[in-house]
Chains A and B, each alone.
Chain A
């Protein structure tokens, strides 16, 4: 083998398949033009697409299944709303905060919670982390239901909000583009992780913790980092969701089904692919809408049927069906 005919070195460091992401972005961009009348559906679908993407940084890349992401969603929603409401904002702040500051504070709180929570529970292996996520979410739900400053079991109403970059935050069109930006942010971060040292360390930890430790990787630290990123993004999604809902109560926002829904969207879409969770969220939302009109209340049934179908026939999710050989994140091109 002489130097002049050295074959092209295979590359490992890539951003993954950017084209699928661009196609996804294109679909999201034309949606308002085609379905301008169903903006409610569009906004909530995109928010959940972003949430599923955020969940996957922990659930897919780090392989740590969380069933408590509703708590992080709730932290984002409650923090922003409380800080924006004149009669609820703590006196020392001297008045309500603009929603973007509230969202940032919510993200910081979620990061802090994930840091403490992850540091404590990632020392355990196996399903203990998953159990802990259910427990923490339960505690946060109970606090929200039983405290005055959270509005108790009645929840919160969104107050008047200032305009954000000239956008009326209660305009569905504006909300759609904010949710659109949220999904793009989660896509960009996932692509960046795919190419990074963190991404490879997470995949190594997911497959074999001792093997990763032998290569100088601290598994707990890597999982905590993934959890913090996931939590920050989920809290941001929570703030958006609160604006979209305008009024929310702990019984809907903080319940286990929300956590399960986020996780299922990612798992059904394919936690092994970069865009899988967003695709899963969109497909589930579309199916949900179709089935709701056809079968009324039986739409919950489709979740059950889909989980069964996916676990039986497509363990790597819907996107896993289309990637030859490339079953997991590392090889997903």
Chain B
């Protein structure tokens, strides 16, 4: 079997990544008209590091994510990847440089088979049969090889999530952005995904993940950023962030409401 075996959610981060950051963002601000969705957020991701983005609904996590991957234009701030300024680069250019993302609402190409979905991504770095073989190898890695010929539209939610991940991985990225890949899965599905993400980080991939489920973020992340109303609330070691009074207040509300 190609699926990583089920592992319990241990509460240790994968390892201590080192080296210079691959992705750096400084002072990212995104405004939509008069609304400031993201305000002055900075972050850095090293190879092998898992950076968790948490925060209540509407905190601006997905907007920040979109600004980092190029789907939303940052009003202020600067993003660099591997030392190059990519603040104004189109998403497809960032993908070619080595940044891959999944979407919160997974979006397979419904008319294509599972294999063909991944093939579209595999063509970024490979041609012809080599691309096809690469696509199939990635499907084996995420445990979808037995579904390769099926239309993508027939997959259930858990498998769609894995297909999203397979498409991102087929780009052979150096930084992976996961937008709520785990929320909505049943507990075994969550464990499989967590194990997979852990394996990916161990292979040297930098990972930025947005997630709702606190214990998942806490068990996976090396570093956590908590946002509320577009602003940075707390940052640092997962446990310190979880214990931070502002974070608790943001999630549970004030005493004197």
Interface residues of A (CB under 8 A from B): 1, 9-13, 197, 200-201, 203-204, 207-208, 210-218, 325, 327-331
Contacts and interface: CB of A to CB of B under 8 A. Distances in A.
Interface of B: 1, 69, 71, 90-92, 95-96, 100-101, 103, 107, 109-113, 115-116, 119-121, 123-124, 127-129, 131-132, 135-136, 148-149, 151, 167-168, 171
Counting chain B CB atoms within 10 Å of each CB, the highest count among A10, A210, A331 belongs to A10
B1 A211 contact: no
A13 B129 CA distance: 7
A200 B116 contact: yes
A213 B111 contact: no
A331 B120 contact: no
Closest 9 CB pairs of A and B: A216-B95, A10-B149, A328-B111, A213-B91, A197-B123, A216-B124, A215-B121, A330-B112, A12-B116
Contact of B109 (A1, A9, A13, A203): A203
A215 B127 contact: no
A211 B111 contact: no
B112 A216 contact: no
A203 B111 contact: yes
B113 A331 contact: yes
A200 B71 contact: no
B119 A200 contact: yes
A215 B120 CA distance: 7
B110 A216 contact: no
A325 B110 CA distance: 12
A10 B150 CA distance: 10
Nearest to A207: B109
Contact of B112 (A203, A210, A214): A203
B119 to A, nearest CB: 5
Contacts of A212: 92, 120
Counting chain A CB atoms within 10 Å of each CB, the highest count among B96, B109, B123, B136 belongs to B109
Contacts of B109: 203-204, 207-208, 211, 330
Given A214-B101, A214-B103, A331-B113, 4 more contacts: A13-B132, A201-B120, A214-B91, A216-B95
Contacts of B116: 12, 200, 330
A324 B121 CA distance: 27
Contacts of B101: 214
Nearest to B127: A197
Nearest to A215: B121
Nearest to B118: A12
A213 B113 CA distance: 19
A207 B119 contact: no
A214 B148 CA distance: 21
Contact of B120 (A9, A200, A218): A200
A9 B90 CA distance: 35
B95 A12 contact: no
14 contacts: A10-B113, A12-B115, A200-B112, A203-B109, A207-B111, A211-B103, A214-B71, A214-B95, A214-B101, A214-B103, A214-B167, A215-B92, A325-B151, A330-B116
Nearest to A197: B123
Given A203-B112, A218-B92, A12 B119 contact: yes
Contacts of B110: 207
Contacts of B167: 214-215
A125 to B, nearest CB: 15
A12 B152 CA distance: 13
Nearest to A198: B123
A210 B71 contact: yes
A63 B113 CA distance: 19
A191 to B, nearest CB: 15
A201 B123 contact: yes
B151 A331 contact: yes
Contacts of A208: 107, 109
B14 to A, nearest CB: 25
B148 A216 contact: no
Counting chain A CB atoms within 10 Å of each CB, the highest count among B69, B92, B124 belongs to B92
Contacts of B171: 215-216
A217 B120 contact: yes
A12 B127 contact: no
A86 to B, nearest CB: 48
Nearest to B96: A216
A107 to B, nearest CB: 27
Nearest to A11: B132
A200 B149 CA distance: 15
Contact of A213 (B1, B90, B127): B90
A13 B119 contact: yes
A277 B111 CA distance: 19
A20 B100 CA distance: 39
A214 B164 CA distance: 11
A327 B91 contact: no
Contacts of B111: 203, 207, 327-331
A57 B116 CA distance: 19
